[in-house]
Amino acid sequence: MVMTAKGLRARCAWEMSRGPRGFADCSWLHQAFLDVPREHFVPDRVWWPAPGDDGRYALIDRNVRPRAWLKAVYLPGVALITQIDDGTVAPTAPAVGAFTSSISSPGVVVELLRHLAPEPGESVLEVGTGTGYTTALLAHRTGAASVTTMEIDPHLANRARDRLRALGTTPGFIVGDGEEGHADGGPYDRIVSTASVRRIPPAWLRQLKPGGVLVAPLDSPYGHDLLVRLVADGRGGATGTAVARVEFMRVRGQRAPRPYAELGWSGEPGAAAWEDLRVTAGQAGQCITHAVVEHT
């Protein structure tokens, strides 16, 4: 049987449509996934995200193992590692080190955008361009002119820009620290981060329109990140809830661990269900509490 990217994309979409964390009722997202060639954004050499028996991450080279590479691109639950140790490790062999960039798994990308729920023509700020794949899905929905994407790593930014342009997609592109956002392009209807934070950057909240939506992975004491969805109050603050368990790489400026008590986690962090969390963020900091505690 001959494998094609289009066939694998359709199968991946079918598999995700059967799960509770898939497309749900987002027909636009399902169509965008089918229309945007994910393989176009994946580098020819990527690392498998789980270590082998030797403790190293196997390299998948498109030129050496094209079938394995293409199958990996369309596995619903697998992220592919595109950078180790901020690019100091060359993608030439199995490696060890800290993951610093990836193309998130199809399932995670779909969940991220499903909760963001952008509408056509709405202005969107994306923090963390990475490969440019999520950027392309956003542009498919809102129009490229409505999307501003930020990437701190110039090499990654240049590659993503080239990949997007090759498909005729030209969003606004900023090379810089995403924690600062991009005030000149705001305020935004939607802000989404593809890198996790320990503390919601105040700049993101200031740059949201009243009623605007922020979706970002937040470090948590549960052993994984939590995807939070916050709605802006128009005064530099926002409130919302945790909507999913996820794993993302940390923004560079927030890699250093900090006590959760310093980050606004009240009570005994991780003691109750994460589904009950209420998240409030503002210019002075953030507060994460449990609804069951609030009503007692």
95 beta partners? 57
Above 90 in pLDDT, residue 110? yes
Name the pLDDT band for 18 (thresholds 50, 70, 90): confident
Q: What's the pTM? A: 0.94
The percent of residues above 70 in pLDDT, for the chain, comes to 97
Which segment of 2-16, 119-133, 258-272 scores lowest on mean pLDDT? 258-272
Distance, CA of 62 to CA of 224 (rounded, Å): 31
- Could you tell me if 206 and 249 lie in one domain? yes
Say yes or no: 181 and 242 in one domain. Answer: yes
As a whole number of angstroms, the distance between CA 288 and CA 240 comes to 10
pLDDT for 116-168, tens place per residue?
A: 999 999 999 999 999 999 999 999 999 999 999 999 999 999 999 999 999 99
Q: What is the mean pLDDT of residues 25-48?
A: 97
Q: From 77, 103, 129, give the residue that closes a domain.
A: 103
Domain boundary at 85, 103, 121, which? 103
pLDDT at 2: 52
Question: Do 136 and 208 fall within a single domain?
Answer: yes
Active-site option among 27, 101, 102, 104: 104
CB 260 within 8 A of CB 240: no
**Residues 99 and 162 placed together within one structural domain of the fold:** no
Domain that holds residue 130: 106-294
How would residue 296 be classed by pLDDT, with cut points 50, 70 and 90?
A: very low
pLDDT single digits (tens) 41-88: 999 999 999 999 999 999 999 999 999 999 999 999 999 999 999 999
pLDDT at 1 over 90: no
pLDDT tens sequence across 180-216:
999 999 999 999 999 999 999 999 999 999 999 999 9
Of 103, 130, 163, the one marking the end of a domain is 103
Q: Of the candidates 180, 231, 193, which has an alpha carbon nearest to the alpha carbon of residue 210?
A: 231
Cα–Cα dist 258/263, whole Å: 7
Position 21 scores a pLDDT of: 76
Return the sign of the alpha-carbon dihedral for residues 161, 165, 170, 171.
negative
Q: Answer yes or no: do 30 and 133 share one domain.
A: no
Residues 131 and 157 in one domain: yes
Q: Are residue 112 and residue 236 in the same domain, yes or no?
A: yes
pLDDT band at 293 (very low <50, low <70, confident <90, very high): very low
Do 119 and 237 sit in the same domain of this protein? yes
Angle of helix 5-17 relative to helix 27-35, nearest 10 degrees, comes to: 160
Token pair belonging to 54: 């030797």
Count of CB atoms situated within 10 Å of the CB of 209: 16
DSSP3 helix / strand / coil % (the chain, rounded to 5) = 35, 30, 40
Q: For residues 125 and 120, what is the distance between their CA atoms, to the nearest angstrom?
A: 14
What is the Cα–Cα distance from 279 to 257, expressed in whole angstroms? 20
Are 141 and 281 contained in the same domain?
yes
Q: Which residues pair with 267 in a beta bridge?
A: none
Q: What is the pLDDT of residue 270?
A: 64
Identify the pLDDT of residue 22.
Answer: 87
Q: 96 and 235: one domain?
A: no
| Residue 20: predicted pLDDT | 75
Q: How high is the pLDDT of residue 237?
A: 97
**What is the number of domains present in the chain?**
2
**Are residues 77 and 59 located together in one domain of the fold?**
yes
One domain for residues 120 and 245:
yes
CATH of the domain at 239: 3.40.50.150
Q: Left (φ > 0), alpha (ψ -120 to 50) or beta: where does 270 sit? A: left
Mean pLDDT of the chain: 94
Q: Is 104 a residue of the active site?
A: yes
